[in-house]
Amino acid sequence: MGKSNQIIGGEIMPNIQNRLCGTLPKVGIRPIIDGRRKGIRESLEEQTMRMAKSTADLMTKKLRHSNGLSVECVISDTTIGGVPEAARCADKFVQEGVGVSISVTPCWAYGMETIDMDPLIPKAIWGFNGTERPGAVYLSAALAGHDQAGLPAFGIYGKDVQDQDDYSIPEDVEQKLLQFTKAGLATATMRGKSYLSIGSVSMGIAGSQVSPSFFCDYLGMRTEYLDMSEITRRIKEEIYDKEEYEKALSWVKKNCPEGEDRNKKEIKHSPSQKDAEWEMVIKMTLIARDLMIGNKKLINLGYAEEAEGHNAIAAGFQGQRQWTDYLPNGDFMETILNTSFDWNGIREAFVFATENDSLNGISMLFNHLLTDRAQIFSDIRTYWSPPAVKRVTGKELTGLAKEGILHLINSGATTLDATGKQRKDGKSTMKPFWEITEEEVKSCLQNTTWSPANLEYFRGGGYSSTFYTQGVMPVTMVRINLIKGLGPVIQIAEGYTVDLSPQIHHILDERTDPTWPTTWFAPILTGKGAFRDVYSVMNNWGANHGAISYGHIGKDLITLASMLRIPVAMHNVPDEQIFRPKAWASFGTSDLESADFRACHNFGPLYGRK
């Protein structure tokens, strides 16, 4: 596992590392050239290789992996003017672990002789918009070859003509290169990793019926399954780092104050019961993490097999009800794992789904890999219309909330990053972990209490994080659903978190469970379809859960979904931001949503067989 240090606020941050098995995918750059010798090729060598190098420089300067490590690029040893050079480049890419391919060219070249033929690697072509040589002609010819071969590729072509000696990357080209590459890296990063199902189906929730065919065919991932009794075994046999446990217990006592116990007097747990629950939920957190990524310290305890983990890039915990009816719930475990810090300091958030909702877990994973940020897991609990709010509070919704709001709330899994207490330019944000300061960690913790679990829901006790997302933040709500006969589809709703007045928030929050974390969400409306009003967003949502990410990342999700061949069933992203493989245009250009469904069905899942 590769490690490096990052300096933040003058302090060295040691938690930038690849904590999963396998090398991180690299970006391969393929400089394509007109192969005709004795003048033409020779005149283009410098310009072509400069394009490749400038593309690589862009990637290394602007992109990181979600674990904070820098993105590495691999450039073909030579320009590519024919089949032998394409084959040598392909061999190098395999040896170097390339997971994303970008071909660049300022000129005409022989299309089918030079394209990337690997069917599993996302690929794009940047054709230079210049008049001296027809880079755009090669782009069109090569993309036609990709389409005919059933190897969809993204086409990138600048809007403005550049001079031959202009080696800059135009803004529109840069945006597409970065959008493609980040989505391509997400695709490559998931491949070969695991989703770890701890337990089975929670309360009949369809998303916790973990589908191995979906994970394998569409994501290239394994599905690993464990009974929840593995956690109790490790607690009983003390298969965890006891030194770290003591450190975690001390940290929790200092930073995690108990909130109000709202349980009925006759069923409240005693102080000694609550102390025991704290101890257990901390051990659960340590063990769940070890189950995901392993822990070498277990080797010294005589547990070499347990030390390996399951190489899980995402996981979920069933909890209800076979666990929670007699043991502390997983809320603390889920929240801390999904947060960008714990007793070991600031680090990459894990992706950990409550109720083992694997489809929401993968939605969170998509968001995390595209943004490098921690993710919110929530119930899409309630649509509050302006008249309903006025009726129960006597007050009007205003500003971003004036058309109505969705109440996002769940007892577990909501990251503490969502308190809104991280800041950028004076505004609330959720940052990549390497940008988070110690002061922001303290602020997130200080704005969170840990309320004893509602014992009518969770008879075994436990603790739920209690906070209210503060500040206006751009966010995107996402969900993958499986539809019999159709397969997976993805839904996307961009919008904003909103600050309600204290009086409105208090009255509305008291009508659910005020001990759980709350986020108020106002989707961006378009006046048509599922986004004609807020009610329609709620009414068209495909499941009870949603994954919510900082930022308006709908365009990035659409690009990623097209790589995986998952159609987008609902979104409010402007058409001009949509970037899919060129082949999608052959399935229709006036109705992009329908064309997406046809294209995804035609090409089939990225790792499956038609």
Same domain assignment for residues 159 and 213: no
Among the three residues 128, 163, 190, which one is the final residue of a domain in this structure? 190
Among the three residues 155, 173, 190, which one is the final residue of a domain in this structure? 190
The tokens for 493 are 């709703």
164 lies in some domain: yes
**pLDDT value at position 129?**
85
| Cβ neighbour number for residue 7 with a 10 Å cutoff | 9
Same domain assignment for residues 205 and 181: no
Catalytically active residues are: 355, 379
The pTM of the whole model exceeds 0.85? yes
5 lies in some domain: no
43 lies in some domain: yes
The Cα-based distances of 455 to 102, 259, 293 in angstroms read 55, 15, 32
| Cβ neighbour number for residue 474 with a 10 Å cutoff | 15
Same domain assignment for residues 423 and 456: yes
Same domain assignment for residues 239 and 365: yes
369 lies in some domain: yes
Residue 528 dihedral angles phi and psi, to the nearest 5°? -145, 160
CATH code of 240's domain: 3.20.14.10
Amino acid letter, 591? D
Same domain assignment for residues 169 and 53: yes
Residue 576 dihedral angles phi and psi, to the nearest 5°? -70, -15
16 lies in some domain: no
CATH code of 127's domain: 3.40.50.1070
9 lies in some domain: no
Same domain assignment for residues 529 and 434: yes
**What pLDDT, in 10s, does the model give residues 546-575?**
999 999 999 999 999 999 999 999 999 999
Q: Show the low-confidence residues of the chain (pLDDT under 50).
A: 1-5, 7-10
The Cα-based distances of 76 to 31, 101, 600 in angstroms read 7, 11, 31
Amino acid letter, 248? A
**What pLDDT, in 10s, does the model give residues 80-100?**
999 999 999 999 999 999 999
Its domain, for residue 253, covers 194-603
